[in-house]
Each structure stands twice: as C-alpha cells, then as structure tokens.
Amino acid sequence: MLQQTATASTAAPLQQCTTVDQSDRTVPINLRQSGPTPVQMLISTRVRKSPYWHLSHQAGCWRATVYNRIYHPRGYVRPEDGGAMVEYDAIVNHVTMWNVAVERQIQVKGPDAEAFVDYVITRNATRIKPMNGKYVILCNEAGGILNDPILLRLSEDEFWFSISDSDIEMWLRGVNCTKKFNVSIAEIDVCPVQIQGPKSEALMVDLVGEDVRELPYYGMMEAKVGGRDVVISQTGFSGEKGYEIYLRDATLYAEDMWNAVLEAGVKHNLMVIAPAHHRRIAAGILSWGQDIDQEVLPFQCNLAYQVPRHKDADYIGRSKLEKVRAEIDQGRYPFKKTMVGMVLGGKPITDYAPDFWLISDGTGGAPCGYVTSPWYSPELETNIALGWVPVGLKDLGTKLKVWLPEEYASVPGAPVDAVVVEVPFRPSANPNAREIAKAEGRDSAF
C-alpha cells in the first residue's frame, strides 16, 4: 500500500493517507496523491482580476492560481523554454518584477489604530514607528495563525495590513464589532508589485532617486513612479535584496506605474516573473495556506520569536500561546507535529508540487509526515523542502524518507533519502526576522 501511495497516478487517485496522525486537527490536510490533474482555469467575474492582470498577460503569463480571491500569475516562462528555473536565474542574478496585487491592503485608520493593531497582532505595535513596517502574525483565541502579513505603518493613526492568503479583513471587522475601537477598517485601492534581485536597488534609484538607498529593511518612503503616487518599502518574499511598490489608486494608474518600471528596467535586465517560491523556500519564508494555516501554532513552525515573552498589552491568543510556551519551556510539546527543513535526493524538483508528498522515518515505513514546499536549489545542488514531521523527528541530522512521484523519484516506487537541516537553507541578502532572532540568540524555534 505504501508503494501505491507513493506512485499514485493521475488516473487513479488513492484514498486519504491515514498513517499520518492528524488527530489534533479539526480539518485534516488532504494527503491523497492525485498528481498534476490537468484542468483549464475558468476566468469569471466571481474571482477578481487585479489592476495588473492584463499587464501580466501581456508580459507572457501562461498560468495562474487564485490567492485572496484574485487571479494570481504563477508562470511566465513556459516549460519548453526552461520554465520556472529561468525565472530563478533572473532573480538571483538580475532583477525581477512580480504582480503581487493579491496582497490586498487592509487599512486600519483612526485615533485608536495603534491600540487596535496591538490587540490583533502578537508583536508590539507601539514599537513600529511611522514609515516603517514589520512581519507580523495574527492568531485566533486558540493560538492558530490566521494570517502573516507585512504590517506597514503610514502614520501615527494609519496602518496597512499587506495580507497573505486569508481574508483577514473579515476577522478585523468582527473583532471590532465587540471591542469598538475608534477606527475604520477597509480594503483600499492600493496594489503592490515586488522588485526583487541583486540589481533592485540600482533600478529603484533610477525610478525614485538616491534617497531609496537609505531605506533600512522594512523602511518606507513616499514617491512617484510613472508620475503616480506610490509607497515604497524595502521588503519582499525572496530573501534577495528587494522592494515593494504600493501604487495608490491602482485601478486608475496601473499602466503608468507598470510601464515606467519596465522602461527603467531595460538596462538592468529586468524580467517579469511569478513570485519566486523556489527562492523563498531557500530563505525559509513560509507561505500561508501551503506551509501554515489557522490550526498551526507559531511554536510549531519556527515563528516562536513572534510571541513576545513580555508585552504589556493583551492580544488575541495570548493566554493559549503563553500556556503552550510554558509547557515547551518544561520540555513538553503540546502538539504532535513540527515543521522542519530537509535536503532530499531524487531528480531536480523544478516546479510546484501538486500534492503534499509523504514522509516516512529513516526506515521507510508507513508515512508519518508530509512535504509542503519542495524545490531544487542550484546553489546547494540538491532538492530542499519544508515539511511536517512528528516532534520526535525534528532534530538536525535526523534521517527521513520522502515518497516522490515518478517524475522525480530516483527509482520508481522507492522513496528517496532525506535529512533534517537548518533553515534557512542559504543566507539571505535581507535576513528575515527569524534569521535575525537566531543570530541574536532569541527564540527562533522551540
């Protein structure tokens, strides 16, 4: 049965894998190995087109997914021309632009904006100065991660949540129905693109001037691109040097900003690509809905540093998170699985995985975990992945087996060797908050 599970074909999807213990989840992860089931995406008015959708199509977008109820480009270079690994080369050697309008901007504005934001995030909002941002998480009362956005502070009384793939606006509005902070909460007509890669700073200087060189990581500035008002932050989803350009009134001025970036980017070898998941995996950056969700505690996925040991103000999930931390401090883990990084064998994984591939312990027995984000790293010359395993298999150097589909397996029907390693897999040009916490000796995992 194990071999069948590992080599399931698209013609005969198998049953849910029951040997992976998910008894602590309300909704188990779907672990059927159905493979790449070819379908045509329906484009309709039920799902939003971002202001950059037509521009992405003009740039060669040939496939897409749905993220935050918005169509999201996920491929520009076709497989026969090298596919996603050509886009990888562009981001690690030159500069790239991504349509990330799916990062919907939820504005919280008003006299109580700071107090409200401080209540819904785990970190201390009072420490974020105007024209600065932070990577944050919002948790539910059970400590589960509802969203992990970039939080931008525009002024003393205005914040933007640049959200990941869950509709946190509804949650924020629901919270304030009873708390009644003096704030307005609404999505605004602001859409970002990401400018990522080693030549990003030079491109941004050409677009907005020398002042952009002075931006610290998570720093922000107001500017004009293509004659239109934008907010620029030094942030990104890649671990490379990078920026985000947040266009105001995006439904009116998308072409002006986009085309100005394309024109300025010619001399820098700018390439429009899909969000570089191959690069963010190497940087250990998590993807909500793929790696984590609302049933995952921050202590399970290297986000413990997001839960402060000392915060004066109360916040949603605090009681549960502090209880869990106290148990961990005493050597007890009140959860069954934890996320690990691993290097693994097999043929190079050069595209998105259609399934959560199964993991066994080093003996290759019944599956006990699953891979969430795999890819091939040219720098490391090996496949790398993030995945969930029982807590007892979390230690560095632990040997595992991963059941890859036939296209990547070294021997069809047999698992490949894997080993638990440090995350991130390679240093980041812009270290993320977890890397900084680890370097400073603060909580980065347990």
pLDDT tens digits, 432-444 = 555 666 667 655 4
Q: Residue 2 pLDDT more than 50?
A: no
Decide if pLDDT at 243 tops 60: yes
Per-residue model confidence as pLDDT tens digits over 89-139: 999 999 999 999 999 999 999 999 999 999 999 999 999 999 999 999 999
Q: What percent of the chain has pLDDT over 70?
A: 93
pLDDT, residue 197, reads: 96
Q: Pairing mode, if any, of strands 138-139 and 145-147?
A: antiparallel
Lowest mean pLDDT among 33-47, 154-168, 217-231: 33-47
Domains of the chain: 2-34+282-439 (3.30.1360.120)
Q: pTM above 0.85?
A: yes
Half-sphere exposure of 362 (CA within 13 A, CB side): 10
Q: Which pLDDT score is estimated for 434?
A: 54
DSSP 216: P
pLDDT digits (tens, 9 = 90+) for 291-303: 999 999 999 999 9
Q: What is the pLDDT of residue 438?
A: 63
What's the alpha-carbon Rg for the chain, to the nearest Å?
A: 22
Query: Per-residue confidence at 427, pLDDT binned at 50, 70, 90?
Result: confident
pLDDT score of 307 more than 80: yes
Beta bridge partners of 442: none
Q: 392 Cβ partners below 8 Å, 6+ apart?
A: none
Average pLDDT over residues 241-267: 98
Q: How many percent of the chain have pLDDT more than 90?
A: 90
The more confidently predicted of residues 15 and 435 is 15
The secondary structure of residue 41, as a DSSP letter, is P
pLDDT at 441: 65
311 has a pLDDT exceeding 80: yes
Q: Are strands 242-248 and 228-233 parallel, antiparallel or unpaired?
A: antiparallel
In angstroms, the CA 399 to CA 414 distance is 16
Q: How far apart are CA 40 and CA 154, in angstroms?
A: 41
pLDDT at 11: 43
pLDDT digits (tens, 9 = 90+) for 376-404: 999 999 999 999 999 999 999 999 999 99
Dist. CA 268–CA 256, nearest whole Å: 19
For residue 239, the model assigns a pLDDT of 87
pLDDT tens-digit series, residues 154-195: 999 999 999 999 999 999 999 999 999 999 999 999 999 999
Rounded to an integer, what distance in angstroms lies between the CA atom of residue 102 and that of residue 113?
A: 24
The rounded mean pLDDT for the chain is: 93
* Total residue length of the chain: 446
Q: Work out the average pLDDT over 73-78.
A: 97
pLDDT mean over 308-313: 94
